[in-house]
Chains A and B, each alone.
Chain A
Amino acid sequence: MTAFVEYLLTGVSRGLVFALLAMGFVFIYRVTRVVNFAQGAFAVFGGFITYSLLRAGMPQGISELLAVIAVALIGLVFGIITIVGEIPLLASLVITIGLSILSEAIGMLIWGTTPITYSGLAGHDFVIFGAFIQRQYLIIGIASLAVFVGLVYVFGRTYFGKAMSACASNPYAATLSGINVKRMGFIAFMLGGALGGLAGVLITPLSPITYNADVSLAITGFAAAIVGGLASPGLAVVGGLVFGIVEQFVAGYWSPSNETAVALALLVVLLLWQSRWVRLGGLE
């Protein structure tokens, strides 16, 4: 029971981080149709920038917030590079791969090759059902819940959110009703940057990151996003949780070295299942 609770809570908190990454994929894809491979790089930047700000003596909380804002701006720059002009969609995927490698180079140049980490908010860890639970899990829970509620409000209630959804479902009609689809694309990239940055800020205290952690973060976020066909933020959250929990259970009850292979195999199965769905006309 103790082990079960521990795996479950670890899985849920890591899953929430994956969900943030996955939602970044979803928002960018919905508005621009670009699958942003550099989504994992956003998380790496989030962790790195927070680390540097904390070391420079900035207070906790402010550092994290500034890091998220900085990564949102990086997202904007990436968006400009990727979607200005007319680029074939698959070429834009390859451009974001280029941006991801560029981020690795920058990360390695500034932060070096050794894994970095920092402690989350100060305070005691606590015990549930005999399981030792890190305080960071609680912070991840609160932060991601706040983000989910905020996004539900923005997309459900505000004019801006509806305009963004309009771009996603019918860009042509959105243009006709006076929405600047390109600008919405840039905003989507900023939002993706902020979500990815937050994911990195939250996960770095749990597992140290290196400059080249972006590929595995990107593929896990993508895997979570594909649960909802890259189109549904809600299902992306479900996907994140599924992947987080599955990874922890495989690592805990079977072997930690099988964790990655099982998660990836699950991704391939999901992709195939989805392609069948698309063929049957279920998704489009």
Chain B
Amino acid sequence: MIRRMHRNIPSFASVAVGLITLALPLFLSSSNIEIYVNIGLYTIVVAGLSLLMGFAGQVSLGQAAFYGIGAYTAAILAVHGWSPLVALIAAPIATAILAFLIGIPLLRLKGHALAFGTLAIQLIFLAVIPETGALTGGSIGLSGIPPLRIGSLEISSGRDYAYLVWIVVVISLIIAGNITRSRPGRGLRAMAASVSGASATGVEVERYKLKDFTLSGAYAGIAGGIYVFFIGYLSPDAFPVILSIEFVIMVVVGGIGTVSGAFVGAALITVISQVLSTLGTGPSLPPQLPTVLSLGVYALILIVILRLVPSGIIGALSKLFNKVQSASPVAPPVIGNSVETVSTTDNNDKKEFTLADEI
């Protein structure tokens, strides 16, 4: 069922969405172009994170750090006279290498330990950047980042960036989609269901997880690289912990482990936070109201979605679609693999232990 869905309906839907988004920059005002670019960049990061969460069944609370490392790589190289295009290409490569190196020890952690481990990486990143003033501009930041050039083509206007981002999003989503349907993808999906089960059937769990983590780093890296050329200025404030959490929220909203969900989640959350900040800004309103509103809405989204529709919006839609098509139930990936329950089966004890071990 899932396979047929992927081949028919969504491919039509995604072509339609692709064409609409391709035409959109022509009609957008410059402030809306900025939102468009942000949605695109977040889609890329979220696609990587979604693979990690849905297929490896792991939560990373450090994705904004990888986004930041991509941005810093591109900015530092470009400021030091490297060609901007080379700097941009170096961003995902450097981030992927770093993710790979961090992942070798860190991916031995699972579940909450990995979540806190990656959060620690993010906080270390935020603590270290201000101490490396000469190279990174410290807490003041880096400015004077040259414009992006590809050959003789200079990418400067918002619309140019919108198209650059569109191309990178499409490439990223196609790669991610292929991975989910490939043999490693099926292995990863088996892992999300049960690590020991997958491992017993010959899935190279550790290697796949590391590849997944590296790829999610590369995705965050390229997005960060484009971001820095687009904004033209860089400071550590652009990569707060809440951004990492926002990425997780986008994955959860779109549906964990669904490629199209990455776009839906990124677009919805970005638009919602934009609307809230417009609504919450006014002469008689307290200045912190937009932040209060968006934090409150993020929290409600996380809690409500995980409690009521754990498969996310895309998951819920495809479930609905499948119900119409046939009676066979589909279970899209859900974070974690175990339900805390005191069941009455007689091997319950043993089960509880595997749960504690696996998550």
Contacts and interface: CB of A to CB of B under 8 A. Distances in A.
Contacts of A90: 57, 59, 111-112, 115, 335-337, 359
A113 B288 contact: yes
Contacts of B121: 268
Contacts of A142: none
Contacts of A175: 342
B359 A101 contact: no
Given A86-B339, A109-B292, A172 B352 contact: yes
A164 to B, nearest CB: 15
A17 interface: no
Interface stretch (B12-20, B168-176, B217-225, B298-306): B298-306
A78 to B, nearest CB: 10
Interface string B327-359: 000000011111111100000110011011101
Given A219-B123, A267-B120, A271-B116, A86 B299 contact: no
Interface stretch (A57-65, A122-130, A254-262): A254-262
Interface string B272-306: 00000000000000001001110110111111001
Contacts of A88: 310, 334-340
Interface in A143-182: 170-173, 175, 181
A148 B177 CA distance: 53
B303 A98 contact: yes
Given A105-B299, A264-B123, A91 B310 contact: yes
A41 B204 CA distance: 39
Question: Which of A90, A175, A265, A276 has most B Cβ within 10 Å?
Answer: A90
A139 interface: no
A227 to B, nearest CB: 13
Contacts of B141: none
Given A93-B112, A257-B130, A260-B123, A108 B295 contact: yes
Nearest to A260: B127
Given A271-B116, A272-B109, A93 B59 contact: yes
Contacts of A170: 349, 352
Contacts, number: 173
Given A88-B337, A89-B111, A93-B115, A104 B131 contact: no
B155 interface: no
Contacts of B117: 267-268, 271
Contacts of A52: none
* Interface SS of chain A: helix
Given A89-B340, A101-B299, A172-B348, A95 B306 contact: yes
B89 interface: no
B123 A91 contact: no
Contacts of B124: 260-261, 264-265
Interface string A262-284: 00110110011011101100001
B116 A222 contact: yes
Contacts of B59: 90, 93-94
B248 interface: yes
Interface string B64-104: 00000000000000000000000000000000000000000
Contacts of B292: 105, 108-109
B167 interface: no
Interface in A99-113: 99-102, 104-106, 108-109, 112-113
Contact of B340 (A33, A81, A105, A278): A33
Which of B113, B241, B298 has the most chain A CB atoms closer than 10 A to its own CB? B113
A91 B291 contact: no
Contacts of A109: 288, 292
B105 A101 contact: no
10 contacts: A94-B248, A101-B299, A101-B302, A102-B299, A108-B291, A172-B352, A222-B116, A271-B113, A271-B117, A276-B108
Interface of B: 57, 59, 61, 105-106, 108-113, 115-117, 119-121, 123-124, 127-128, 130-131, 241-242, 245, 248, 252, 288, 291-293, 295-296, 298-303, 306-307, 310, 334-342, 348-349, 352-353, 355-357, 359
